[in-house]
């Protein structure tokens, strides 16, 4: 029996650093367990991180804990260590780190209960049955493919009454029980580079090995993951698979289900109800779920026996959380793999410069897939439309219109990519050049003609479309520039009979609509897709042969040093949607800078040329990955107060700087957002450790700051 202590130190979700001491008889076995304690006048839930016999707080002021949930397994030590690491590295209170990494249900006062899963199997009668009803037949079809399916997984796709009906009719039976042993459906023979990648990884399964799987779009990275995963599953271990976006989960879930029939797969993302989320989380913790598929927060899932982490589309900025604990799930995944002593695979067609740099330095091992996996599929041909000379009708060049009409004749799909939603990015008065601005932000209001509104894309403010210029009384207000809605209507003008699908944040606002649109595209029920970067991510559209890219030039000369990297990734990804099956693809880019090195690299599908070029620029300018950065952002109702606070920070910081460069405080690039004025101060150092030590000294002194300024720190910031 473990020694009994009388004090527990717990993490609770309050914005104060450190742990809170309570009285409870507890042993080291209680570390990682959930507790309920009194806090002020309330009761709240927390997690025990330490047990001990002494407290800094006088014992008569300590309060007893109400309850320790001993019926649930505790969080394991590795995960608790990971929380501690994140709290230290991102300089965020440990209580907030721990409690926000856990499903909401863990913050309630109730015990948790893992609902036992039932397994449905097809009966003899069900084998041949053809009952009335679409859902019944789809259910039977699923069971004919996988004769045993878990109730929980079926319930994500089918309504409960249909499942009950199937059981009532005797076409299927439900029984509790262990999931079937790992079964692996037939799979394609790997090509040589895939084979090298898989055997490289499989040859190094024991211990921490970070891999960068750099494979062009359509090179079959998924197949590499699948074959590695299948070995991990056979070893009896679990897999954590991270994707940048919730929209990518349904397709992958399908891929996993058909490759590993009968294997329990749990999704963890923001689209789940609190109950579904905690159930899936518990399944991961108890080892029932073999594969956990999730977005960034899933990096903090507890596992019974984790054997592999995959971060797909690792370059994607969505892995970075932009509020609260500002962590990069990709970086935390690598850190976690290191702590768990397991391999981690970062995959991308356009790796982040940070990861590519790490591979060049030998910190990560590089695996390359240079060609498309399907024999007939080649990378698309990239052509440019020179906007300085080509004829244009509105936003579309004549060349692009011709290319689209050719696709319509051939019954192939086209995609027009424009990274701006709404009708046009601004309205302008034709006589005095007045434009409507957001009153709460330093931004223009975007014209949304479909909705009849002007909208701010930063704070969500909206208002009616103004008809008269408030400045000069002119009635002629004109839209300038193009957004998805305007391109959609121009396309309709050119191709009145085409089926056009607009895909942007406005058109997929409803929870299910993006999935329905994806189905439509796959079934060939759309001829032309118009959309933003939502379309660029990881989707496979077999009949798509043309990608038109409008107005990418602005990012070439942005003040954000990451803009070119992002632009290249975005364009390479969206181009990669073309010609993935048999038919060759074409990409047409409308630009005024056809000779720009970024476009040249894109034309030759030469990520490396691009990466080398950008790395050289970063090195010369002293930007990441050659230095490490941290920001303190301050916001206040008045810019003077925000700047004054940062001036105070700057004065203290300059005294400790050492090998850390302290930049002058400056207004943020979005200086005003939601009625708050924003400013920031940047610190950087070639040495991560020095920067960390610097922050460790600087930050504690700032906590007692004034109330009119809110501030936070962002380590490894992506946005400025
Ligand atoms: P990526 O994720 O690298 O963009 P995918 O994994 O989507 O590429 O693969 C592209 C296509 O190639 C898919 O249709 C996949 O089924 C197919 N594929 C992958 N590997 C092979 C292989 N070894 N032989 C034949 N087809 C393959
Ligand atoms: Zn005017
Ligand atoms: Zn606004």
Tell me the domain boundaries of the chain: 5-107, 118-176, 192-369, 381-424+481-617, 628-715
Beta carbon of 188 within 6 Å of any ligand 1 atom: yes
All residues with CB under 5 Å from ion ligand 2:
429, 432, 434, 469, 471-472, 474
- Per-residue pLDDT, 282: 92
User: CA-to-CA distance for 615 and 260, rounded, in angstroms?
Assistant: 41
- Per-residue pLDDT, 693: 96
Shortest CA distance to 74 belongs to which of 141, 154, 8, 125? 8
Residue 535 pLDDT class (50, 70, 90 cuts): confident
Residue 177 pLDDT class (50, 70, 90 cuts): low
For a mutational test of ligand 1's pocket, the pick from 190, 212, 222, i.e. the residue with the most ligand atoms closer than 8 A to its C-beta, is 222
- Give the Å distance between the CA of 438 and the centre of ligand 3: 5
Closest atom of ligand 1 to CA, residue 542: 14
User: CA-to-CA distance for 538 and 184, rounded, in angstroms?
Assistant: 24
Ranking 162-166, 259-263, 701-705 by mean pLDDT, the lowest is: 701-705
Quick one: which ligand is closest to 433's CA?
A: 2
Residue 554 pLDDT class (50, 70, 90 cuts): confident
What proportion of the chain, given as a percentage, has pLDDT over 70? 98
- Give the Å distance between the CA of 11 and the centre of ligand 2: 58
For a mutational test of ligand 1's pocket, the pick from 215, 220, 316, i.e. the residue with the most ligand atoms closer than 8 A to its C-beta, is 220
Beta carbon of 540 within 6 Å of any ligand 1 atom: yes
DSSP letter (8 states) at residue 102: S
Evaluate whether 469 touches 431 at the Cβ level (below 8 Å): yes
What pairing do the DSSP bridges indicate for beta strands 34-39 and 67-68? antiparallel
Rounded to an integer, the average pLDDT of 686-708 is: 87
CATH of range 5-107; options 3.60.20.40, 3.40.640.10, 3.40.1440.60, 3.30.365.10: 3.40.1440.60
User: E strand or H helix at 373, and its extent?
Assistant: none
Residue 703 pLDDT class (50, 70, 90 cuts): low
pLDDT over threshold 80, residue 494: yes
Residue 1 pLDDT class (50, 70, 90 cuts): low
- Give the Å distance between the CA of 336 and the centre of ligand 1: 28
Describe the chain by its helix, strand, coil percentages, rounded to 5: 35, 25, 40
User: E strand or H helix at 545, and its extent?
Assistant: strand 544-549
Beta carbon of 223 within 6 Å of any ligand 1 atom: yes
What pairing do the DSSP bridges indicate for beta strands 265-268 and 291-294? parallel
Closest residue CA from atom 21 of ligand 1: 373
Rounded to an integer, the average pLDDT of 387-414 is: 94
pLDDT over threshold 90, residue 118: no
What proportion of the chain, given as a percentage, has pLDDT over 90? 72
Closest atom of ligand 1 to CA, residue 312: 2
What pairing do the DSSP bridges indicate for beta strands 34-39 and 5-11? unpaired
- Per-residue pLDDT, 418: 95
- Give the Å distance between the CA of 349 and the centre of ligand 1: 13
Beta carbon of 414 within 6 Å of any ligand 1 atom: no
192-369 and 381-424+481-617: identical CATH topology: yes
- Give the Å distance between the CA of 219 and the centre of ligand 3: 41
pLDDT over threshold 80, residue 148: no
Rounded to an integer, the average pLDDT of 279-294 is: 92
Residue 705 pLDDT class (50, 70, 90 cuts): low
CATH T-level fold of 192-369: Rossmann fold (3.40.50)
All residues with CB under 5 Å from ion ligand 3:
438, 440-441, 456, 458-459, 461
User: CA-to-CA distance for 18 and 493, rounded, in angstroms?
Assistant: 62
- Per-residue pLDDT, 484: 95
- Per-residue pLDDT, 508: 85
Phi, psi of 249 (to 5 degrees): -75, -40
- Per-residue pLDDT, 542: 85
CB burial of residue 158 (10 Å; 0-12, 13-18, 19+): middle
**Cα dist. 130→135, 138, 147, 389 in Å?**
11, 10, 16, 62
CATH of range 628-715; options 2.115.10.20, 3.40.350.10, 3.30.70.600, 3.30.465.10: 3.30.70.600
Angle between the N-to-C axes of helices 249-259 and 221-234, in degrees from 0 to 180, rounded to the nearest 10:
50
3-state class (DSSP) for residue 493:
helix
Quick one: which ligand is closest to 470's CA?
A: 2
User: E strand or H helix at 371, and its extent?
Assistant: none
CA-angle at 504, arms to 548 and 439, nearest 5°: 115
- Give the Å distance between the CA of 10 and the centre of ligand 2: 61
Beta carbon of 221 within 6 Å of any ligand 1 atom: yes
User: CA-to-CA distance for 250 and 386, rounded, in angstroms?
Assistant: 39
pLDDT over threshold 60, residue 566: yes
Shortest CA distance to 514 belongs to which of 242, 142, 243, 249? 249
* Predicted TM-score of the model (pTM): 0.89
Residue 157 pLDDT class (50, 70, 90 cuts): confident
- Cβ burial 244-274 (10 Å sphere, 16+ → b, else e): bbbbbbbbbbeebbebbbbbbbbbbbeebee
Residue 343 pLDDT class (50, 70, 90 cuts): very high
- Give the Å distance between the CA of 282 and the centre of ligand 1: 33
Rounded to an integer, the average pLDDT of 588-599 is: 95
Written as six digits, the tokens of 106 are: 């863990």
- Give the Å distance between the CA of 671 and the centre of ligand 2: 25
Evaluate whether 129 touches 140 at the Cβ level (below 8 Å): yes
Beta carbon of 190 within 6 Å of any ligand 1 atom: yes
For a mutational test of ligand 1's pocket, the pick from 255, 316, 368, 373, i.e. the residue with the most ligand atoms closer than 8 A to its C-beta, is 373
For a mutational test of ligand 1's pocket, the pick from 196, 197, 218, i.e. the residue with the most ligand atoms closer than 8 A to its C-beta, is 218
Beta carbon of 215 within 6 Å of any ligand 1 atom: yes
Shortest CA distance to 643 belongs to which of 616, 665, 610? 665
pLDDT over threshold 90, residue 48: yes
Angle between the N-to-C axes of helices 192-202 and 221-234, in degrees from 0 to 180, rounded to the nearest 10:
30
Phi, psi of 338 (to 5 degrees): -65, -45
Class for the domain spanning 381-424+481-617:
alpha beta
- Give the Å distance between the CA of 222 and the centre of ligand 1: 7
Beta carbon of 373 within 6 Å of any ligand 1 atom: yes
Residue 497 pLDDT class (50, 70, 90 cuts): very high
Written as six digits, the tokens of 603 are: 């034309």
Q: In what order do the strands lie in the sheet with 446-448?
A: 446-448, 453-455, 462-464
Rounded to an integer, the average pLDDT of 74-85 is: 95
3-state class (DSSP) for residue 96:
helix
What pairing do the DSSP bridges indicate for beta strands 628-636 and 676-685? antiparallel
Evaluate whether 12 touches 39 at the Cβ level (below 8 Å): yes
Q: Which region holds residue 481: left if phi is over 0, alpha if psi is between -120 and 50, else beta?
A: left
Residue 71 pLDDT class (50, 70, 90 cuts): confident
pLDDT tens for 501-520 read 999 988 888 767 888 888 89
Evaluate whether 590 touches 549 at the Cβ level (below 8 Å): yes
Beta carbons within 10 angstroms of residue 430's beta carbon: 13
User: Beta partners for 384?
Assistant: 589
Average pLDDT value for the chain: 92
For 564-686, where are the E strands, in sequence order? 586-591, 628-636, 661-662, 666-673, 676-685
- Per-residue pLDDT, 704: 58
User: CA-to-CA distance for 357 and 685, rounded, in angstroms?
Assistant: 17
Rounded to an integer, the average pLDDT of 403-430 is: 94
Calculate the CA dihedral of residues 669, 674, 676, 677 and round it to 10 degrees.
20
Helices (H), 90-214: 94-101, 124-128, 134-145, 151-155, 160-168, 192-202
- Give the Å distance between the CA of 428 and the centre of ligand 2: 8
3-state class (DSSP) for residue 251:
helix
- Give the Å distance between the CA of 411 and the centre of ligand 1: 24
- Per-residue pLDDT, 286: 85
Q: According to the 3-state scheme, what is the secondary structure of 503-535?
A: ECCCCCCCCCHHHHHHHHHHCCCCCEEEECHHH
- Give the Å distance between the CA of 360 and the centre of ligand 1: 26
pLDDT over threshold 70, residue 706: no
CA-angle at 499, arms to 494 and 505, nearest 5°: 100
């Amino acid at each position: 029996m473990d020694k009994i202590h009388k004090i527990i130190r717990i993490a609770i979700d309050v914005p104060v650093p450190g742990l809170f001491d309570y009285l409870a008889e507890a042993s080291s076995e209680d570390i990682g367990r959930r507790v309920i304690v009194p806090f002020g006048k309330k009761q709240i839930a927390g997690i025990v991180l330490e047990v001990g016999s002494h407290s800094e707080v006088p014992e008569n002021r300590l309060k007893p804990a109400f309850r320790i949930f001993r019926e649930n397994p505790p969080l394991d030590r590795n995960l608790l260590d990971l929380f501690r690491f994140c709290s230290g590295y991102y300089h965020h209170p440990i209580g907030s780190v721990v409690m926000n990494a856990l499903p909401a249900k863990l913050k309630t006062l109730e015990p948790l209960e893992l609902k036992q899963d039932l397994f449905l199997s097809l009966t003899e009668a069900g084998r041949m049955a053809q009952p009335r009803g679409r859902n019944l037949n789809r259910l039977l079809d699923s069971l004919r493919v996988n004769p045993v399916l878990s109730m929980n997984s079926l319930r994500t796709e089918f309504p409960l009454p249909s499942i009950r009906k199937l059981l009532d009719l005797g076409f299927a039976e439900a029984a509790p029980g262990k999931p079937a042993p790992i079964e692996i459906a037939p799979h394609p023979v790997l090509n040589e580079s895939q084979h090298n990648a898989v055997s490289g990884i499989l040859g190094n399964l024991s211990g921490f090995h970070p891999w960068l799987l750099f494979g062009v779009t359509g090179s079959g990275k998924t197949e590499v993951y699948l074959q590695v995963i299948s070995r991990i599953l056979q070893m009896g271990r679990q897999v954590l698979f991270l994707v940048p976006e919730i929209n990518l989960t349904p397709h992958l879930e399908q891929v996993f289900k058909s490759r590993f029939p009968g294997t329990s797969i749990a999704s963890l993302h923001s689209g789940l109800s609190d109950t579904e989320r905690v159930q899936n989380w518990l399944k991961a913790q108890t080892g029932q779920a073999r594969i956990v598929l999730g977005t960034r927060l899933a990096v903090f899932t507890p596992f019974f026996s984790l054997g592999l982490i995959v971060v797909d589309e690792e370059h994607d900025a969505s892995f970075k959380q932009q509020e609260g604990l500002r962590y990069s799930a990709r970086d935390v995944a690598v850190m976690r793999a290191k702590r768990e002593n397991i391999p981690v695979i970062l995959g991308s067609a356009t790796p982040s410069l940070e990861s590519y740099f790490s591979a060049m330095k030998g910190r990560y091992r590089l695996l390359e897939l240079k060609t498309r996996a399907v024999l007939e599929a080649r990378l698309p041909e990239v052509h440019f439309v020179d906007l300085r000379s080509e004829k244009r009708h509105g936003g579309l060049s004549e060349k692009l219109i011709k290319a689209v009409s050719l696709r319509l004749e051939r019954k192939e799909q086209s995609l027009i990519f424009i990274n701006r939603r709404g009708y046009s990015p601004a309205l302008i008065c034709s006589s005095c050049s007045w434009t409507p601005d957001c009153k709460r932000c330093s931004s223009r209001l975007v014209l949304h003609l479909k909705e009849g509104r002007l909208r701010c894309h930063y704070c969500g403010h909206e208002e009616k479309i103004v008809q008269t210029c408030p400045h000069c009384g002119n009635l002629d207000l004109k839209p300038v520039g193009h957004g998805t809605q305007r391109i959609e209507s121009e396309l309709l003008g050119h191709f009145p009979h085409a089926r056009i699908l607009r895909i942007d944040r406005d058109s997929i606002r409803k929870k299910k609509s993006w999935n329905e649109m994806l189905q439509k595209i796959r079934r060939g029920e759309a001829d032309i897709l118009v959309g933003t970067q939502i379309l660029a991510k990881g989707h496979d559209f077999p009949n798509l042969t043309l990608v038109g890219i409008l107005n990418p030039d602005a990012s070439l000369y942005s003040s954000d040093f990451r803009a070119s990297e992002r632009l290249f990734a975005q364009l390479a990804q969206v181009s990669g949607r073309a010609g993935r099956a048999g038919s060759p693809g074409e990409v047409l880019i409308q630009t005024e800078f056809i000779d720009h090195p970024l476009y040249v690299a894109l034309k030759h599908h030469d990520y490396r040329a691009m990466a080398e070029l950008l790395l050289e620029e970063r090195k010369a300018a002293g930007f990441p990955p050659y230095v490490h950065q941290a920001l303190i952002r301050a916001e206040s109702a008045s810019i003077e107060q925000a700047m004054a606070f940062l001036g105070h920070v700057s004065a203290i910081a300059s005294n400790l700087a050492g090998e850390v460069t302290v930049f002058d405080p400056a207004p943020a690039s979005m200086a005003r957002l939601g009625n708050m004025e924003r400013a920031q101060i940047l610190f950087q150092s070639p040495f991560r450790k020095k920067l960390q030590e610097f922050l460790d000294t600087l930050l504690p002194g700032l906590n007692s700051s004034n109330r009119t300024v809110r501030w936070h720190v962002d380590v490894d910031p992506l946005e400025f």
